[in-house]
């Protein structure tokens, strides 16, 4: 553990953190700007507790920072671990959800993606506990938000 701590203070590891941040925030932001709420979404019947659209940007930016840091922490310890594979899987599901929902207008397929994302988030939390004390906790707000998103996604699919 001491060597991991020492390595985290090296310039290479700070560069790796920057890469994780740029990748996660950059790809997430790009996808977010290319698949925004449109007339289809505006016309949908929404469930109670549906937040205003302006909430999603700041929430996702914050979550993407936490996701990037958690991934970086596990990558610095064991880049080929099950936890890292689950981190990559949840990222792919995350990036697939918005185009499926906002561009393809497929709420049921988006819900299936969201369930897979939720399972990979839980898997990452459980698997990363073996490697690091902080990384799994960084995913707890993400799990809470994706659980809430599941309520919204399923409710909208059922209401429409």
pLDDT digits (tens, 9 = 90+) for 61-115: 999 999 999 999 999 999 999 999 999 999 999 999 999 999 999 999 999 999 9
d(CA 109, CA 67): 23
CATH class, 2-159 region: mainly alpha
d(CA 42, CA 53): 10
DSSP code of residue 69? H
For the segment 17-66, what is each residue's pLDDT rounded down to a tens digit? Answer: 999 999 999 999 999 888 888 899 999 999 999 999 899 999 999 999 99
Q: What is the pTM of this model?
A: 0.91
Looking at the chain, how many residues does it have? 160
């Amino acid at each position: 553990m001491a060597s991991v701590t020492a390595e985290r203070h090296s310039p290479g590891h700070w560069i790796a953190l920057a890469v994780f941040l740029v990748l996660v925030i950059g790809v997430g932001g790009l996808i977010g700007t290319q698949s925004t709420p449109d007339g289809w979404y505006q016309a949908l019947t929404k469930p109670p507790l549906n937040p205003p659209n302006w909430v999603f940007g700041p929430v996702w930016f914050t979550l993407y920072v936490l996701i990037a840091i958690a991934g970086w922490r596990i990558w610095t310890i064991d880049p080929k671990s099950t936890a890292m594979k689950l981190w990559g899987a949840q990222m792919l599901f995350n990036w697939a959800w918005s185009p499926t929902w906002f561009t393809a207008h497929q709420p049921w397929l988006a819900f299936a993606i969201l369930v897979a994302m939720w399972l990979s988030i839980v898997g990452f939390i459980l698997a990363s506990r073996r490697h690091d004390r902080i990384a799994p906790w960084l995913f707890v707000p993400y799990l809470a938000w994706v659980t809430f998103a599941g309520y919204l996604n399923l409710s909208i699919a059922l209401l429409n």
